[in-house]
Amino acid sequence: MPGPDPAGGHSVSGSAVGGDVIQIGSARDVSIGTHLPPRPPLPDAASTPAPSGLNGLPCRRAAVFVGRDEALERVEQALRQGANAQRPHAVVYGLGGIGKSELALQYALRNTGRHHLAWWIDADSPAQIQEGLAGLARAITAGTHSVAAAQATAEEAAAWAIAWLAAHPGWLLVFDNVEQAADVEPVLSRLHGGHVLMTTRRATGWHDLCTPINLEVLDPRAAEHLLAELIGPERPAPAGEPAALAEELGWLPLALTQAAAYITHTPGMTLARYRRLLREAPGRLHAAAADGHDPGRVIARTWELTRSRIAGLDPLAPRLLELLGCYAPDHLPVDVLYGLQDADELGIADALALLASYSMITLGGDSVSVHRLVQTVTLARLTPVQRAAVHRTAAELLASALPDSPDQIGDWPVYARLLPHARAALPPESSAMGKVIDYLDASGDYTTAKELQQALYRTLRDALGPEHPETLWAQGNLAHLTGQAGDVAGARDRHAALLAIRERISGSEHPHTLIVRANLAYWTGEAGDVVAAREQYAALLGIAERVLGPEHPDTLSVRGNLAYWTGRAGDVVAARDQYAMLLPVRERISGSEHPDTLAARANLAYWTGEAGDVVAARDQYAALLPIAERALGPEHPTTLTFQANLAAWTGRAGDVVAARDQYAMLLPVRERISGPEHPDTLAARANLAAWMGEAGDAGAARAEFAVLLPIFERVFGPEHPGTLTTRANLDHWTNRADGDG
């Protein structure tokens, strides 16, 4: 990873990446020091009208909706009375399968005339909530400002949507399936002037935020009516049968819907016969409550009947439902299931259509979703051996669906779509999970990568022991991701602990031990002790030359890092000279266009500039850039880093307007290639903000750093060096803007 990206600020050297892999010869300065691009700005929220007829409610709707008039009135009353109170929002809570989402949708549909905008947000996680609000911003600005909305980050677009809502009262937002109150609390406190309706399975934590509404099972007469409407008049039933069946199903809407689907799709089936079958096949639900109307037990009983029926029609259908129980509940790409070796795509499509006709799944475009309760009872009926086999097959299918190159940007959208299913289905120690972690590392989601790596390390430690080679490798990767996620001192300490084990097991000069020493030196420097990092690399270099040879690639990486930390320790001239001596060796060993050679050239340019010759640094980067474009490609991340460095040194050479404009051209490419919240993208945004200020617009710089700071805090944490530098830049440009005023 080449070259620094300085604009007068913070640098991150070429790191020892991946725990036991030396990649250390490439000072990479992600500076956050001195302009966001003249991207097209989002319009003023207060003066932007919503497009005529804008409505973001789901297209799905229950075929029959009965028995909820009282609940609808309670929602209406809570929102109407809360409009001028401290809690202007309402949440509907209740058991799975009880109809919370359908109630919210019916309320929204019946009140569209009262709201100039109604918008639905799937709210399983804070990330989904933010993306739902960003989607609202993009919908509102579609047309003349669609480019600005597309280039805005999710955080920016969500903040704009909240500002728009505050300026245009009379809207309705629905947050569906909120996991916990803390996920929506930051948003609720900023939403005023409209109605917010939420659904959740959690009964606690809401009283200080909104009006909670407990949704119970259907009234017996309403349940009977629902059943009769779903079955239709062509199947008349003796008096009392619908009521009896509704009672046996616990008056639960999901169970009633599934039972009606079974009855209507089974020739000769009657309500009485279905009841008899229901009693004969009670199902098995682990840890079921004693109450016969427990939703899980009810669904288990109905599913047992449906399974027997659909197995007779298509044996593949129940097998697919079992597999679906192993993934995240929503939006599994159907292509994953098409990987089954003993079934063709047409057969899988037919089986899924059969499951959908029995209301066991929901098909949507190229994905399939399953109710969480259906997932639970489907797997619960299996024996431990059967369940393990299904999980194994589900993991194999998902592993096959993952692209082979997690570090290739073009494959990231597939990984992002499969990530929730990977977390649900893949064993922590699997090679497929390793690919997922590599994707998260490459794409910059270090926090999630660290979380999954922690699970991998613990699994290997418990299964193989703390000193098994695979466990130690996982421990090294966990240390690396700890630092990447912002805890540089933690990374240093983890590597120190690992080094003691490596020295005892492998010896002080084993290549694996040397790798850990290199990583420890790197994170020692990142934790603030740059002199110690330099000294550790100096001591390591002699050992590497003796053990590996003076021109071994890892030895040359140690030389590069020694040069880098020599410069970081204050001797920039020595850093420049060391890179000048390293470069011809790299060219002879690896070739003039090898990435390691390009990294050495980039570092030589960087330290040439730091040693005082900023014009030479600019010119060296200008000469390096076309070589990288030819050797690596014009949009390779390394090439983009060179572009950033050329912009930075152009500015430091005195042409601040050109620096601003070069970052302005770079940023949209970074966002498209790496994603809007990748560390490299955020670095480009910060540098662009800084050069905006240097070019004379201190107010714009202040505004951009004000937007960036909460993003850095969320992505990296409040104490990450990049966050601290961003906060310092915000203070700096605030003072400059106030002074200019």
Task: State which residues form the domain around 366.
Answer: 239-380
Residues 50 and 122 in one domain: yes
CB 197 within 8 A of CB 146: no
10 closest CA partner among 695, 599, 530: 530
CB 171 within 8 A of CB 165: yes
pLDDT at 624: 94
pLDDT at 85: 56
Please state, as a whole number, how many other Cβ atoms lie within 10 Å of the Cβ of residue 489. Answer: 15
Residues 209 and 277 in one domain: no
Query: Residue 122 pairs with which residues in a beta bridge?
Result: 176
96 closest CA partner among 259, 320, 250, 284: 250
Distance of CA 280 to the CA centre of its chain: 45
Distance between CA atoms of 579 and 562, rounded to whole angstroms?
10
Residues 278 and 178 in one domain: no
pLDDT at 9: 27
**Percent of the chain as helix, strand, coil, to the nearest 5:** 65, 5, 30
Region of 396 on the Ramachandran plot (φ > 0 left; ψ -120 to 50 alpha; else beta): alpha
Instruction: Tell whether 248 is covered by a domain.
Output: yes
Q: What number of helices (H) and strands (E) belong to the chain?
A: 32, 8
Residues 200 and 252 in one domain: no
Coil, strand, or helix at residue 588?
helix
Our count of domains for the chain comes to 2
Instruction: Tell whether 616 is covered by a domain.
Output: no
pLDDT at 607: 95
Residues 313 and 280 in one domain: yes
pLDDT at 34: 29
Q: Tell me the pLDDT tens digit for each residue of 541-552.
A: 999 999 999 999
Coil, strand, or helix at residue 12?
strand
In order, the DSSP letters of 176-200 are EEES-HHHHHHHHTT--SSEEEEEE
pLDDT at 672: 80
- Strand pairing category for 171-178 and 367-369: unpaired
Q: What is the DSSP letter of 606?
A: H
Instruction: Tell whether 283 is covered by a domain.
Output: yes
User: How many CA within 13 A on the CB side of residue 134?
Assistant: 17
CA angle 281, 284, 290 (to 5 degrees): 105
Residues 196 and 58 in one domain: yes
Residues 185 and 286 in one domain: no
The enclosing domain of 203 has a CATH number of 3.40.50.300
Q: Tell me the pLDDT tens digit for each residue of 573-632.
A: 999 999 999 999 999 998 999 988 999 999 999 999 999 999 999 999 999 999 999 988
Residues 141 and 200 in one domain: yes
Low-confidence ranges of the chain (pLDDT < 70): 1-41, 60-63, 82-88, 143-154, 281-297, 740-741
